[in-house]
Amino acid sequence: MVEDWGNFLVPYKQAVDELKVKLRGIRGEYLRVDGRSPIEFVTGRVKPIDSIKEKMVRRHINEDRLEEDMEDIAGLRIMCQFVEDIYQVVDLLRKRTDITILEERDYVHNKKPSGYRSYHIVFEYPVQTLTGEKKILAEIQVRTLAMNFWATVEHSLNYKYQGEFPTQLKSRLQSASEAAFRLDEEMSEIRGELKETDQVENAHNVGDSSNENSNL
**What local confidence, expressed as pLDDT, does residue 157 receive?**
85
Domain contains 213: no
- 141: which residues sit within 8 A by CB, 6+ positions away? 75, 76, 77, 78, 118, 119, 120, 121
In a domain, 215, yes or no: no
Element (H, E) at 76: strand 74-80
Tell whether 79 is covered by a domain.
Answer: yes
**How confident is the chain (216 residues) per 10-residue block, as mean pLDDT?**
90 98 97 96 97 94 95 98 97 97 97 95 96 96 97 84 78 94 95 81 62 59
User: Of the listed 103, 139, 154, 196, which one is catalytic?
Assistant: 139
pLDDT for 195 equals 83
pLDDT at 170: 87
For residue 185, indicate whether it is catalytic: no
The answer to the question of residue 30 being in a domain is yes
At 205 the pLDDT is 65
Domain range holding 136? 5-180
Establish if 188 belongs to a structural domain: no
Residue 159 placed within a domain: yes
Distance CA 73, CA 177 (A): 26
Please state whether the predicted TM-score (pTM) of the whole model is above 0.75.
yes
Task: Please give the span between the terminal C-alpha atoms of the chain, in angstroms, as a whole number.
Answer: 84
Query: Which CATH number do you get for residue 155?
Result: 3.30.460.10
Residue 29 domain-assigned?
Answer: yes
Q: Write the DSSP symbol of residue 191.
A: H
Domain count, the chain: 1
191 in a domain, yes or no?
no
Contact 116, 177 (CB under 8 A): yes
